[in-house]
Amino acid sequence: MDKILIVDDNQAVCNALALMLELNGFHPLICLSPEVALELIGLHDIALVIQDMNFTQDTTSGEEGKALFYALREAQPQLPIILLTAWTQVEVAVELVKEGAADYMGKPWDDAKLLTSTNNLISMYRLSKANTQLTRVNNDRLSAIKGADLCGIVFGSGAMQRCVDLALQIARSDVSVLITGPNGAGKDKLADIIHANSALKNKAFIKVNVGALPMDLLEAELFGAEAGAFTGANKTRIGRFEAADGGTLFLDEIGNLSLSGQIKLLRVLQTGEFERLGSHQTRKVQVRVLSATNAVLAEDIRAGRFREDLFYRLNVIELELAPLNQRQDDIMPLVEHFIGKDFSFNKQAQQALMAHAWPGNVRELENACKRAMILAKSRVLTAADFGLHAVADAGRVIDKRESALPDTGINQLVVDKAEFNAIESSKVVLEKSDIEAALVEHGGIIARVAKSLGVSRQALYRRMEKFGIDR
User: What was the pLDDT predicted at 15?
Assistant: 93
Cβ partners under 8 Å of residue 330, min gap 6:
154, 155, 156, 157, 160, 324, 362
**What pTM value is reported for the model?**
0.56
Dump strand ranges (E) for 117-247: 177-180, 205-209
Model confidence at 425: pLDDT above 50: no
Same CATH topology for 3-130 and 158-322? yes
Q: How confident is the model at residue 470 (pLDDT cuts 50, 70, 90)?
A: confident
The domain over range 326-427 is classified in CATH as 1.10.8.60: yes
Mean pLDDT to the nearest integer, 186-192: 95
Superfamily covering domain 158-322: P-loop containing nucleotide triphosphate hydrolases (3.40.50.300)
Model confidence at 418: pLDDT above 90: no
Q: What is the mean pLDDT of the chain?
A: 83
Q: How confident is the model at residue 2 (pLDDT cuts 50, 70, 90)?
A: confident
Q: What is the pLDDT of residues 290-314, one digit of tens each?
A: 999 999 999 999 999 999 999 999 9
Query: Per CATH, which fold does 3-130 belong to?
Result: Rossmann fold (3.40.50)
Degrees, nearest 5: CA angle 49-50-55: 115
Distance CA 67, CA 102 (A): 16
Q: What is the pLDDT of residues 339-366, one digit of tens each?
A: 999 999 998 899 999 999 999 999 999 9
% of residues, the chain, pLDDT over 90: 46
Model confidence at 240: pLDDT above 50: yes
User: What was the pLDDT predicted at 139?
Assistant: 57
Q: What is the pLDDT of residues 89-102, one digit of tens each?
A: 677 878 888 888 88
Q: How confident is the model at residue 26 (pLDDT cuts 50, 70, 90)?
A: very high
Domain extents for the chain?
3-130, 158-322, 326-427
Dump strand ranges (E) for 181-307: 205-209, 248-252, 273-275, 282-284, 288-293
Comparing 184 with 405, which gets the higher pLDDT? 184
- What proportions of the chain, in percent to the nearest 5, are helix, strand and coil? 50, 15, 35
